[in-house]
Amino acid sequence: MAKVGIFFGTDTGNTRKFAKKMAQQLGEAIADKPVNISKASVEDLLAYDVLILGSPTYGDGELPGLSSGVQESWEEFLPQLAGADFSGKTIALYGLGDQAGYADNFVDAIGILYDTFSCCNAKFIGFTSCDGYEFNRSKAQIDDKFVGLVLDEDCQKELSEQRLNDWLAEISSAWK
Ligand SMILES: Cc1cc2nc3c(=O)[nH]c(=O)nc-3n(C[C@H](O)[C@H](O)[C@H](O)COP(=O)(O)O)c2cc1C
């Protein structure tokens, strides 16, 4: 089994698209095929030393899932983490959002993932600068950083590829 596990939630496919791009760029010796979180168990995640976890935000700052009218996803998965121990695991988060349409809740979902996995003792890598984004509030923001990579296919599609490449280069020391 490869070292890096990639798990994502999605509704319209953007978060899946970037999961696939990452897996392709890392190569199959490093990363296994990305898995939709609706098909994963906590044990599936615990099988890896390094996890890349992706989520869009739905509703007004919510995880994707049944209550925001999306298919089963992170909302249904997170309660299963109660009591799980991610000590020794390294997590890199990436989030998809829309800074113009949802300026008060921009990429909140990865802030929720950060809080939840922090309680399970995970260590995080891959924080990124908030420079270059225009929004009012985000649960994914700590001081002047986002808790992971932030991609906005609604407003800044042209920047996504470069942001992704820079981020992968930065976090790659986790599996070298
Ligand atoms: C109904 C709806 C609600 C949304 N709510 C938010 C939100 O609260 N915050 C945000 O940053 N983006 C929000 N978005 C934007 C999506 O997160 C964004 O389009 C994302 O790229 C979708 O990813 P997916 O294709 O993987 O589902 C919302 C989009 C829709 C359609």
Amino acid at 107: V
Domain map (residue ranges) of the chain: 4-175
pLDDT of residue 48: 97
The fold of the 4-175 domain, in CATH, is Rossmann fold (3.40.50)
Nearest partner of 167 among 114, 124, 126, judged by Cα: 126
Mean predicted lDDT score pLDDT of the chain: 97
Neighbours of 63 (CB within 10 A): 26
| Ligand 1-lining residues (CB < 6 angstroms) | 10-15, 56-61, 96-98, 102, 105-108, 153-154
Blockwise average pLDDT, block size 10, the chain, 176 residues: 91 98 96 98 97 98 96 97 96 98 98 97 98 98 98 98 97 90
Q: Which of 55, 75, 96, 160 to mutate to test the pocket of ligand 1 (most atoms within 8 A of CB)?
A: 96
Its sign, for the CA torsion 112, 126, 14, 21, is negative
Q: Which of 53, 55, 58 to mutate to test the pocket of ligand 1 (most atoms within 8 A of CB)?
A: 58
Please tell me the distance from the alpha carbon of residue 91 to that of residue 123, in angstroms, as a whole number. Answer: 6
Look at the pTM and tell me if it is higher than 0.85: yes
The token duo for 12 is 């319209």
pLDDT tens for residues 73-98?
999 999 999 999 999 999 999 999 99
